[in-house]
Amino acid sequence: MRHPLEKFRHCPVCGSEHFEEHDVKSKQCRDCGFIYYANAAASTAAFIMRADGCLLVARRGKDPARGTLDLVGGFADMGETVEEGMLREIREESGLVLYRPRYLFSIPNQYEYSGMTIHTLDLFFLLQAPEQAAPKAGDDASELMWIPLDEVRPELFGLKSIRQGVEHFIVKKSEFLQYI
């Protein structure tokens, strides 16, 4: 596995070329002593269910994994909680205004973007949408569809952690669905 900061060649504080591996997730400048840690970014994914047992599924409109299935979600921004980030991402990608996300579980992930490996911690939430909800694809989603949970095929989800999360959700659905 490559070091998460391998592309960072110079110290961001003093510009020194002596910016070297300190440990498995950090680099330190030999000249000024600055240490930079590559910590996992918080990312969210939503299992949005209707009372009829259908799950809201997105088709990815952008790379990585463009064209594959996904759950609505994305990165939490600085200054917001993961719950706030989850609800914002739902609004941006579907137009839905939902409330009370219920945290279920997390999966560590590596997300390839712009030639770098971004380490993430993907947090999965459960939300209920009203029967009349009419989501419209926006932002990163090229298409949204309601799929009966019993017909969801995890292998069609392009991102590894999302696929793992969908598999886990399906196995534990009777336990998780009692929360809505």
Q: What percent of the chain has pLDDT over 90?
A: 79
Predicted confidence (pLDDT) per residue in 123-138, tens digit? 999 999 998 999 998 8
CATH code, residues 44-179 = 3.90.79.10
Predicted confidence (pLDDT) per residue in 150-174, tens digit? 999 999 999 999 999 999 999 999 9
DSSP-assigned states of every residue in the chain: ---TTTT--S-TTT--S-EEEEETTEEEETTT--EEE-PPEEEEEEEEE-TTSEEEEEEE-SSSSTTSEE-EEEEPPTTS-HHHHHHHHHHHHH-------EEEEEEEEEEEETTEEEEEEEEEEEEE--TT------TTEEEEEEEEGGG--GGGB-SHHHHHHHHHHHHTHHHHGGG-
Interatomic CA distance for residues 87 and 17, integer angstroms: 42
Mean pLDDT rounded to a whole number for the chain: 93
Residue 113 — pLDDT band, cuts 50, 70, 90? confident
Residue 32 has pLDDT above 90, yes or no: yes
* Torsion, Cα of 6, 8, 37, 124 (10° steps): -70
Residue 1 — pLDDT band, cuts 50, 70, 90? low
CB neighbours of residue 4 within 10 Å: 20
Task: Locate the domains of the chain by residue range.
Answer: 1-39, 44-179
Predicted confidence (pLDDT) per residue in 46-85, tens digit? 999 999 999 999 999 888 888 999 999 999 999 999 999 9
